Chain A
Amino acid sequence: MARGIKDKVVILGAGCSKFGERWECEPADLMAEAFEECIADAGIEKNQIEAAWQATGIDQFSVGPGAMPLSMALRLPYIPVTRLENYCASGTEAFRAATYAVASGACDIALAMGFEKLKDTGYGGLPQRSRGVSNDMYYPNLSAPGMFAQLAAGYRAKYGTSKEDLKRAMAHVSVKSHANGLKNPKAHLQRAITEEQVLNAPMIAEPIGLYDCCGVSDGAACAIVTTPEMAKSLGKKDLISVKALQLCASNGEEGGFDNWDGSYVATTRIAAKRAYEEAGVTKPRKEISMTEVHDCFSVTEMVTMEDLFLSEDGGSVKDVLDGVYDADGEVPCQIDGGLKCFGHPIGASGLRMLYEMYLQLGGRAGDRQLSDPKLGLTHNLGGFPHQNVVSVAIIGQYGV
């Protein structure tokens, strides 16, 4: 196997805007808000950035195509800027591109920016959009919650879990994320909810109710990456480095062949295995200190715990209800509130997760700071359970 990315690139700085219904903000405002925090943290000048990548998931609803939105928003100094779109993994893709550019030696300092302006549609939920001229002819009449609700049906069928038990575990996932979001001043949703509220909420897509869905938000998040050597030469200490960066895209086998039962996400398992190998992690539940996973819907987070090999197959209902993934649990999940409460501006989400991990690893996460985390894992899942793109990243203290 190739040597991998471990410890070749460090995060020099990171920034994140307040997420939420930012009615007053243009995308450029959100980008500037995240970027000013990031560059101040990095301690460099704008003209030291040699290349940049911009992640947006749904350009039609924000800024149009191409990379000018980022270059112009920040008045970047005529450097190479590229737009990336890879479903909900877009933000992590921008980070991957910047990291690889630095690792290759093509440049010393690179910027990854993700953002999305979703709240200009006039209705709740994600914008309606085409899946492609031919796909639209036969894809079902779906919404995002509808697609991820399929996981619940597949999971019930495989493990014989009752609707009620599954729904309670899903409710626990959301209650936990709301409790975490309460401590995050940048989170879209900052209020506690009860299990009863979740269970009694209006149904969106059986069995996903309103409180099983993440927030649809405006926001931007970014990171500046460099080599460990450059970071040290800039006077940085206690470096946070990239340990693994993996991506896996479906090839249609899950949906089209008879070896997938709908109870898990095959690509997450593949990406996770590769990431653990790249990072040298052999016992994920013991070694991973915390996770930020793609909790677009509560059931997705629950299933993801198994797909990341943190819970045994069929064991996540019990683990979730036992509090394994709560803030004071064995492997806290969504300590910043997750997509559920921090919000989900699609292109920004991967970078928002990395931002939180970076703060936690540096001991700078305020009221929600975990005690001495060593490795943080982030996970994005874009598309549908049966055909999707998944990214898994692991970051930790450099050289440890």
Chain B
Amino acid sequence: MVGITAYGAYLPRLRLQKKVIADANGWFDSGLVGLGKGEKTMCNWDEDAITMATEAYADCMGRESGQAPAALFLASTSLPFADRQHSVIVAEALNLETADLRTMDVTSSQRAATSALLSALDIAAAGNGEAVVVAAEHRLTKCASREEMLFGDGAAAISVGTEGVVAELVTSFTQATDMIDHYRAEGEHFDYGWEERWVRDVGYMGILRRAVEGLLSKAGVDAADIKHFILPTDQGRVPAMVAKRLGIADTAIADNLLQSVGNTGAAQPLLLLAHRLEQAEPGDLILLTGFGQGCDTLLFRATKAINSKKPLMGVSGHMARGVAEENYNKYQSFNNLLDKELGKRADTDKTAFLSAMYRNRGLVNSFIGGKCSACDTVQMPKHNYCVNPECGAFKTQEDHPMSGVTGHVATWTADRLTFDFNPPAYFGLVKFDGGGRIMMDMTEVDPDTFDIGTEVSVHFRIKQIDSQRGFRKYFWKAVPAA
């Protein structure tokens, strides 16, 4: 039996209130006013597909370092580099065992994640071990566009394997068709789309519906027996229309979360799958579709183990921890959609020194410190000499992963002089439980509850953006416990 063995998700904490988009742009396009209900997830300035993918994997698989899946695939259409494999960054941020680890970025389509999932299932079915697909999307949209109202940011992770299966793969069916409901040209930030009615009638009601029929026929399953029907789309009425045509029950239709999360693009199929898996019962048939230049369809059946494996927080947990954001300008700023005066302190040279980055990737990518084999003292960063003045031993530091360790704030400030995309910049000395400490950046700080002694965990985030050379640097930041 091959199938899903674990699942998880990540949603940015910030939730843009759609009313503020409507308030800002309704004068220009009154059609937007009707969409101005509810909220959508938005990345903080220091979040992107990489950082969210790291979090979603951890939600699915835990933060223990040294995990050794056979493969890690990352699906997204909003990856920050055109040529640098992002799944490797994610693997190092998770401190996975990277020897004999297959990595791959799957992109260029809204069905990238379902296609990656099909390949991951093949790897697992071939007996190679567990394969994890992470899908993450940080979606840029034009000011005053319909997409701005409907798109959200988020990530999900699905692990597949042959042991501990919570939902077995029944079968799959894929149709490849070059129907361009929208596209994004190389080097462009924004989608260019065609009329919704055409996409609905020819795309969802046509190509997708026929692919599902192909799947059901292949599986010998009656549409009425489907318990979870996942049709990712930003067209609110489409899932019900397609379900009705296919004979799938209303109760099976997965909520696209358009009023709470937004459509997370290539991540949406896995996000909705992770959401439905939270609610599935043994024996439930789960039908997943991924639409884009054709359609992937996958049919799963929940096993008796479905309730035995839960994500750390899951889609529901992440949905419940939102922080309302009512500043539209902040949304545009965080997404670099404005020609904004950042001040002279933002002008400094931010060259990434790639050879030095490679040397330091244990610290920078994986947040690995050192533990002295002579006296057990933990220190950040690792060093030739033990920091304990009673010890001081030379070359006794063993790698000590700190990314899953919680700590407490010993000193801090909120700095309004230094340049930050989201001032004030919080940073301070963090003392880790079990030893070790470091002066580090902090993010997602609530000034009303934050002070000395606040518990924090550390998370992989964007540290600096070098817009001159198109590079971004990542490091770990302390985030106060929610």
A residues neighboring B (CB under 8 Å)? 121-123, 125, 128-130, 133-134, 137-147, 149-154, 156-157, 202-206, 208, 252-253, 255-259, 261-262, 384, 386
Contacts and interface: CB of A to CB of B under 8 A. Distances in A.
Given A123-B343, A257-B377, A386-B439, A142 B427 contact: yes
Given A146-B417, A146-B427, A206-B424, 16 more contacts: A128-B345, A134-B356, A138-B475, A140-B440, A141-B441, A143-B417, A144-B417, A149-B413, A150-B413, A150-B428, A150-B429, A154-B411, A205-B413, A205-B416, A252-B387, A255-B437
Contacts of A386: 429, 439
B389 A253 contact: yes
A257 B429 CA distance: 11
Contacts of A259: 389
By Cβ-Cβ distance, the 9 closest A-B pairs, closest first, are A146-B415, A140-B427, A149-B413, A143-B418, A143-B417, A150-B411, A262-B411, A153-B411, A256-B387
Nearest to A156: B452
A311 B418 CA distance: 32
Given A137-B473, A138-B363, A138-B475, A258 B437 contact: yes
Contacts of A140: 425, 427-428, 439-441
Interface residues of B, number: 50
B469 interface: no
B379 A257 contact: yes
B360 interface: yes
A157 B411 contact: yes
Interface string B364-387: 100000000000010111010001
Nearest to B353: A133
B250 interface: no
A255 B348 contact: no
A142 B356 contact: no
Contacts of B380: 256
A59 B411 CA distance: 31
Nearest to B361: A137
A258 B452 contact: no
Contacts of A154: 410-411, 429
B453 interface: yes
Contacts of A143: 415, 417-418
Contacts of B92: none
A208 B412 CA distance: 12
16 contacts: A123-B343, A123-B344, A128-B419, A134-B356, A137-B363, A137-B473, A138-B364, A138-B381, A139-B439, A141-B419, A145-B417, A157-B411, A202-B416, A256-B380, A259-B389, A386-B429
B384 to A, nearest CB: 11
B414 interface: yes
A203 B413 contact: no
B317 interface: no
Nearest to A152: B413
